[in-house]
């Protein structure tokens, strides 16, 4: 008998208090081991129109809702006794007659009984005499016939209400529909068209649970270890099944470097995971690298990779998961027999200042020298005055003539020598040395490289990625990233470094992680179209979210104490709503503001953990951290604190500007930081600060209270 969990179960589980969640997990584990265990006290739910719905006892008040057939046992829902029974009485599980996917379908009759006002909005109107002041109701889908609606997964008894829904009732309607139908209708409401069906690259299975739409909402588990892993994380942490639009990118064969783009939450990481496994299975002799910019994200990828591979882990030994820097450490030791000694920023700055003093340089500050070194000289491995004279300085808007570069070059040459005397390397030096080592070698360490969060690849890192795979052959380099989340690197030309992705780039438009309201508010911080240095556009228009939620809030206060009290109250309301502490993230602009976050958490009577390069979540603790460390993380509730007018943008960054022309770049990346922090939220977003607040808050489309 197949044992499955439904997304509706894991969503409901996350809303229960922590103590009840633990009891539920124990019961589900017992259920998998012995579905007939007498302690579960199963009862058929007689009032449900689906005869296969049963309840199972967790404790005096909590009940599991199961769907039992001769071939499978599905854990569909969990809640308090009355609410659990009511959920089952309103639903049925069936195979859609047109798509062939299994669905959880709400009973239209029961919805109309529970929400008569909503039902009246989609009912046939009574004949009436129109007045000159009344505009006729606009029905979003009135021109679509049943065949079209059935083809996108709308249940047969819901086609009439869909055709009669208005813009005002739309989000109330779609929450009652199966996920694939809701997504298709959202697409149509946003663009006026349905996406054409993706070509089937594999034979269609007769099993309705194997349909691509069903696989994203129902997952089978073959052993207790897999089930335990799934129960300890929310659905979106371990469900790695593909939307058809994502599958098309995964299955496509690329004869050159390729990239998938899309705004936060559109599933780029899931595509990257599938690409890595696909490459390993298609090329039995090759090693595959799956890499990203930080250690926590690398560990996150590793955990999801294990779920994706399931019981067939035959390719696991040939897939390496590592951060950029951990990869460089390992390869450096293999290539040169030792690990590199990496210089700190303070050591580099001291070498530049000492060189400038010795050579008597005038007119350029140490800060200017450090930025020029880190953005131009070091990553591009400039080796001579002649090279410096012609090197592109993209991202550096202060112009330098040939004479100025000739005057500056001895400083950089001397500073590099001082680091060498101390046996120190910078990270770009290590990456470039490895790139030079592997560039002309026939034996490459990897056959395929997949990069997640690729917008944060620097020049030297990208050179290394291109050098460690064979130059010829299909699917050697694949990148997943979002220009709107570029917060660590200056723009530069990928094409000049051998990673020309023109014609091999796809932008995903369906957001699975963030509610429609939060996504729309955050998207207002960025231009609708972003263009890279090579002229490739990322068009963010037409992106849709697959679920609705509360509007984000901006709250401004007269003092830090008022802000901390309000945030503490918000944290307590999160836990009262069934959100666990580890599902809440609090972010601030810099380490200077972390004290405000700690005190707010303490005022709520809760414990916190500071997000670091090694960990981001601990059970029972609120995660706090800077906006930079928010990258790649996900939380149900997010609070972005201390968005004061003298904090965001960060004054130190503005004060460090050497040329007025660099101001636009600073403001752009500071705006991107707020976007990254805001889009970590799935269900709720609160932004706080001291009045009048950051100037960026006027662009964040949210309700403001002072």
Topology of domain 550-705 in CATH is Rossmann fold (3.40.50)
The mean pLDDT of 376-402, rounded to a whole number, is 77
Q: What is the DSSP letter of 375?
A: I
How many C-alpha atoms does 14 have within 13 Å on its Cβ side?
23
Question: What is the side-by-side strand order in the sheet with 2-6?
Answer: 43-44, 53-57, 62-68, 72-80, 2-6, 218-220
**Model confidence over 259-296: pLDDT tens digits?**
998 888 888 888 999 999 999 998 888 999 999 988 87
Q: What pLDDT is recorded for position 705?
A: 64
Q: Which residue do the tokens 């129902």 mark?
A: 218
CATH for 240-337+431-539, among 1.10.10.60, 3.40.50.300, 3.30.70.260, 3.30.360.10? Answer: 3.40.50.300
Residue 405 clears pLDDT 90, i.e. is over it: no
The mean pLDDT of 599-626, rounded to a whole number, is 87
β-pair type (537-539, 505-508): unpaired
Q: What is the DSSP string of 257-311?
A: -EEEEESTTSSHHHHHHHHHHHHHHH-TT--EEEEESSHHHHHHHHHHHHHHHTT
- CATH class for the domain made up of 2-126+145-191: alpha beta
Contact 450, 287 (CB under 8 A): no
Separation between Cα atoms, residue 353 and residue 346, nearest integer Å:
10
The mean pLDDT of 623-632, rounded to a whole number, is 88
Q: What pLDDT is recorded for position 660?
A: 56
Residue 328 clears pLDDT 50, i.e. is over it: yes
Length of the chain in residues, anyone?
A: 706
**Model confidence over 514-529: pLDDT tens digits?**
888 999 899 888 888 8
Burial classification of residue 314, based on how many CB atoms lie within 10 Å of its CB (0-12 exposed, 13-18 middle, 19 or more buried): exposed
Contact 438, 446 (CB under 8 A): no
Q: What pLDDT is recorded for position 535?
A: 72
Q: What pLDDT is recorded for position 226?
A: 65
Q: What pLDDT is recorded for position 337?
A: 93
Q: What is the mean pLDDT of the chain?
A: 85
Percent of the chain predicted with pLDDT > 90: 43
Separation between Cα atoms, residue 621 and residue 624, nearest integer Å:
9
β-pair type (218-220, 2-6): antiparallel
Tell whether pTM > 0.85.
Answer: no
Listed in sequence order, the residues at least 6 apart from 302 whose beta carbon sits closer than 8 Å to its beta carbon are: 321
Residue 140 clears pLDDT 60, i.e. is over it: yes
Q: Give the residue with greater pLDDT, 549 vs 617.
A: 549
Q: What pLDDT is recorded for position 684?
A: 94
Highest mean pLDDT among 241-245, 364-368, 587-591: 587-591
Listed in sequence order, the residues at least 6 apart from 652 whose beta carbon sits closer than 8 Å to its beta carbon are: none
Residue 326 clears pLDDT 90, i.e. is over it: yes
Q: What is the DSSP string of 65-117?
A: EEEE-SSEEEEEEEEEHHHHHHHHHTEEEEE-TTT--EEEEE-HHHHHHH-HH
- Of 76, 71, 11, 307, which Cα lies nearest the Cα of 208? 71
- Of 520, 558, 530, which Cα lies nearest the Cα of 685? 520
Q: Which of 303-307, 479-483, 614-618, 674-678 has the lowest mean pLDDT?
A: 614-618
**Model confidence over 682-706: pLDDT tens digits?**
899 999 999 999 999 988 876 666 6
The mean pLDDT of 575-584, rounded to a whole number, is 88
Contact 649, 235 (CB under 8 A): no
Residue 201 clears pLDDT 50, i.e. is over it: no
Residue 659 clears pLDDT 90, i.e. is over it: no
Separation between Cα atoms, residue 438 and residue 430, nearest integer Å:
12
Residue 599 clears pLDDT 50, i.e. is over it: yes
- Of 674, 670, 663, 692, which Cα lies nearest the Cα of 638? 674
Strand partners, 78: 64
Helix residue ranges per DSSP H, 484-526: 516-523
Listed in sequence order, the residues at least 6 apart from 17 whose beta carbon sits closer than 8 Å to its beta carbon are: 578
Q: Which of 196-200, 469-473, 477-481 has the lowest mean pLDDT?
A: 196-200
**Model confidence over 290-316: pLDDT tens digits?**
999 888 788 888 888 887 776 667 888
* Structure confidence at residue 398 as a pLDDT band (50, 70, 90): low
Contact 164, 140 (CB under 8 A): no
Separation between Cα atoms, residue 161 and residue 122, nearest integer Å:
5
* Structure confidence at residue 614 as a pLDDT band (50, 70, 90): low
Strand partners, 610: 624
**Model confidence over 12-60: pLDDT tens digits?**
888 888 788 888 988 888 888 888 777 788 899 999 989 999 999 999 8
Contact 509, 541 (CB under 8 A): no
**Model confidence over 220-252: pLDDT tens digits?**
877 676 677 667 655 555 556 666 677 788 888
Q: What pLDDT is recorded for position 197?
A: 58
**Model confidence over 91-120: pLDDT tens digits?**
999 999 999 999 999 998 888 887 787 777
Question: What is the side-by-side strand order in the sheet with 553-557?
Answer: 608-610, 622-626, 584-588, 635-640, 681-690, 553-557, 703-705
Residue 82 clears pLDDT 60, i.e. is over it: yes
* Strand ranges, E, within 439-590: 448-452, 477-480, 505-508, 510-511, 529-531, 537-539, 544-545, 553-557, 584-588
Separation between Cα atoms, residue 183 and residue 188, nearest integer Å:
9
Burial pattern 625-644, b for ≥16 Cβ within 10 A else e, equals bbbbbbbbbbbbbbbbbbbb
Contact 179, 217 (CB under 8 A): yes
Residue 487 clears pLDDT 80, i.e. is over it: no
The mean pLDDT of 340-348, rounded to a whole number, is 94
Residue 652 clears pLDDT 80, i.e. is over it: no
Q: What pLDDT is recorded for position 661?
A: 55
- Going from the C-alpha of 302 to that of each of 51, 295, 297, 369, the distances in angstroms are 41, 10, 9, 39
Contact 87, 50 (CB under 8 A): no
């Amino acid at each position: 008998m197949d044992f499955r969990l439904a997304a509706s179960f894991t969503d409901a589980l996350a809303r229960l208090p922590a103590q009840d969640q633990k009891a539920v997990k124990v019961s589900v584990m017992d259920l998998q081991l012995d579905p007939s265990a007498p302690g579960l006290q199963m009862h058929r739910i007689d009032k449900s129109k689906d005869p296969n719905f049963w309840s199972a006892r967790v404790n005096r008040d909590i009940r599991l809702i199961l769907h039992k057939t001769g071939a499978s046992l599905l854990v569909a829902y969990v809640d308090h006794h009355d609410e659990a029974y009511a959920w089952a009485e309103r639903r049925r599980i069936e195979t859609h007659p047109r798509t062939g996917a299994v669905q959880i379908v709400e009973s239209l009759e029961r919805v109309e009984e529970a929400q008569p006002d909503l039902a009246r909005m989609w009912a046939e109107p009574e004949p009436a005499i129109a007045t000159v002041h009344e505009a006729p109701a606009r029905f979003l889908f009135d021109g679509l016939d049943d065949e079209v609606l059935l083809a996108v997964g709308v249940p047969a008894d819901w086609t009439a209400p869909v055709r009669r829904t208005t813009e005002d009732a739309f989000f109330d309607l779609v929450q009652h529909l199966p996920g694939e139908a809701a997504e298709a209708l959202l697409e149509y409401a946003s663009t006026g068209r349905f996406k054409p069906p993706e070509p089937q690259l594999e034979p269609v299975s007769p099993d309705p649970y194997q349909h691509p739409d069903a696989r994203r909402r129902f997952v089978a588990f073959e052993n207790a270890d897999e089930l335990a892993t799934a129960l300890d994380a929310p659905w979106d942490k371990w469900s790695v099944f593909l939307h058809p639009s994502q599958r098309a990118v995964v299955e496509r064969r690329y004869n050159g470097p390729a990239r998938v783009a899309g705004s936060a939450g559109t599933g780029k990481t899931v595509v990257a995971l599938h690409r890595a496994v696909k490459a390993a299975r298609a090329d039995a002799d090759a090693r595959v690298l799956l890499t990203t910019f930080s250690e926590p994200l690398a560990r996150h990828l590793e955990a999801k990779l294990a779920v994706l591979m399931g019981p067939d882990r035959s390719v696991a030994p040939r897939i390496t998961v590592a951060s950029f820097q951990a990869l460089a450490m390992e390869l450096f030791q293999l290539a040169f027999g030792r690990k590199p000694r990496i210089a700190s920023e303070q050591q580099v700055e001291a070498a530049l200042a000492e060189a400038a003093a010795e050579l008597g340089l005038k007119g350029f500050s140490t800060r200017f020298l450090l930025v020029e070194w880190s953005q131009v000289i070091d990553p591009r491995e400039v080796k001579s005055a002649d090279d410096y004279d012609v090197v592109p300085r993209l991202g550096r808007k202060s112009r330098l003539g040939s004479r100025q570069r000739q005057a500056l070059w001895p400083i950089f040459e001397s500073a590099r020598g001082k680091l060498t005397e101390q046996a120190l390397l910078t990270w770009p030096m290590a990456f470039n040395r490895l790139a030079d080592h592997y560039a002309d070698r026939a034996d490459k360490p990897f056959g395929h490289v997949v990069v997640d969060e690729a917008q944060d690849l620097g020049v030297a890192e990208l050179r290394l990625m291109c050098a460690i795979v064979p130059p010829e052959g299909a699917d050697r380099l694949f990148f997943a990233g979002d220009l709107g989340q570029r917060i660590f690197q200056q723009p530069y030309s990928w094409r000049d470094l051998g990673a020309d992705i023109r014609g091999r780039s796809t932008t995903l438009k369906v957001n699975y992680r963030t509610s429609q309201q939060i996504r729309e508010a955050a998207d207002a911080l960025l231009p609708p179209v972003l263009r890279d240095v090579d002229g490739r556009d990322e068009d963010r228009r037409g992106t849709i979210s697959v679920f609705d939620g509360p509007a984000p809030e901006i709250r401004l206060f007269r003092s830090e104490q008022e802000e901390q009290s309000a945030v503490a109250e918000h944290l307590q309301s999160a836990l009262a709503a069934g959100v666990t502490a580890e599902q809440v993230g609090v972010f601030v602009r810099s380490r200077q503001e972390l004290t405000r976050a700690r005190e707010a958490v303490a005022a709520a009577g809760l414990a916190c953990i500071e997000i670091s390069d090694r960990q981001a979540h601990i059970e029972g603790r609120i995660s706090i951290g800077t906006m930079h460390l928010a990258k790649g993380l996900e939380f149900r509730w997010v609070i972005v604190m201390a968005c004061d007018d003298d904090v965001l943008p960060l004054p130190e960054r503005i004060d460090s500007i050497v040329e007025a022309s660099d101001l636009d770049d600073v403001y752009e990346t500071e705006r991107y930081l707020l976007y990254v922090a805001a889009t970590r939220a799935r269900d709720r977003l609160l932004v706080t600060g001291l009045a009048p607040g950051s100037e960026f808050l006027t662009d964040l489309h949210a309700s403001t209270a002072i």
